[in-house]
Amino acid sequence: MATLEVKDLHVEVTDDEQKKSREILKGVNLSMKTGEIHAIMGPNGTGKSTLSQTIMGQPAYHVTQGDILLNGESIVNMPVDERARKGLFLGMQYPAEIQGVTNAEFLRAAMNARRPADDQISVMAFLKELDKNLALLNMSESMTERYLNEGFSGGEKKRNEILQLLMIKPSFALLDEIDSGLDIDALQVVSKGVNSMRGDNFGSLIITHYQRLLNYIVPDVVHVMMGGRIVKTGNADLAKTLEKEGYAGLRDDLNIDV
């Protein structure tokens, strides 16, 4: 079993134009283990993406207080690639396009990065695994010979993020608005991919604006984030209540001013 703990996390970003730092996360606590799927919901601009980027180690986000522990070990000073090797994966809201690296090359390198130098994956084993996952996601093989995300449609990028997830098999996947811009068919495919990962060796933190995704990937725990803090935690029903009553209702209930 692997664990991921966020403890009293405070994070600042520096606004390039104003050359000023601003605190975005104001004491986030979160504790999860493999076998569990957690969802984070919350209005726009409350720091959901900031949390996922900070857990992954994007350098624009400065931890000013608190800690992030992976299997009990602090990772806040580790670079992104080291966190990835240790089993973290971030599926992004806006995946980057990378010229000159094909999707297949990227996938194989990312898989090998998580394996010891004397146990790199063979070409045969790689292609077998790739074919299996392409079929699961209804993706064409030609996608894997194209440059990473270049010219991919929004839906193709999201599917491709899930392909990466299935191939790399991280311990924890942080999935940031993987449902945004997806039609219902793509949403079902993406959900099928994530659900196929469910099990004792996999945990996920699913960030979403809408409850819809959580009909397909039913979370064990739902957190609501507002104003840089987790203000409420519950089970899958909490997402349904939110869908009905909106964030405004919760804001009133909790008497918070954000």
Q: Are 190 and 104 in contact (CB under 8 A)?
A: no
One-letter amino acid of 164: Q
Rg of the chain over CA atoms, in angstroms?
18
Q: What's the min distance (Å) between Cβ of 199 and ligand ADP? A: 28
Q: Are strands 203-208 and 172-176 parallel, antiparallel or unpaired?
A: parallel
Which is closer to ligand ADP, CB of 35 or CB of 154? Answer: 154
Which one of Mg ion, ligand ADP, none is in contact with 46 (Cβ closer than 5 to 8 A by kind)? ligand ADP
Nearer to ligand ADP, 45 or 246 (CB): 45
Contact map string, positions 22 to 51, toward ligand ADP, x by CB under 6 A: --x-----------------x-xxxxxxx-
We find the least distance from the C-beta atom of residue 113 to Mg ion, in angstroms, to be 26
Please report whether residue 94 would count as binding ligand ADP according to CB under 6 A.
no
Q: Least CB distance from residue 142 to Mg ion, whole Å?
A: 31
Spatial distance between the Cα atoms of 66 and 97, rounded to a whole number of angstroms:
33
* Shortest distance in whole angstroms from residue 22 CB to ligand ADP: 7
Q: Is 255 one of the binding residues for ligand ADP (CB under 6 A)? A: no
Applying the rule CB under 6 A, the residues between 1 and 20 that interact with ligand ADP are 13, 15
Residues 55-74 that bind ligand ADP (CB under 6 A): 60
Please state the closest distance from residue 158 (CB atom) to ligand ADP, in A: 16
Cβ-proximal residues to 19 (8 Å cutoff; 6+ apart), any chain:
none
Residues that bind ligand ADP (CB under 6 A): 13, 15, 24, 42, 44-50, 60
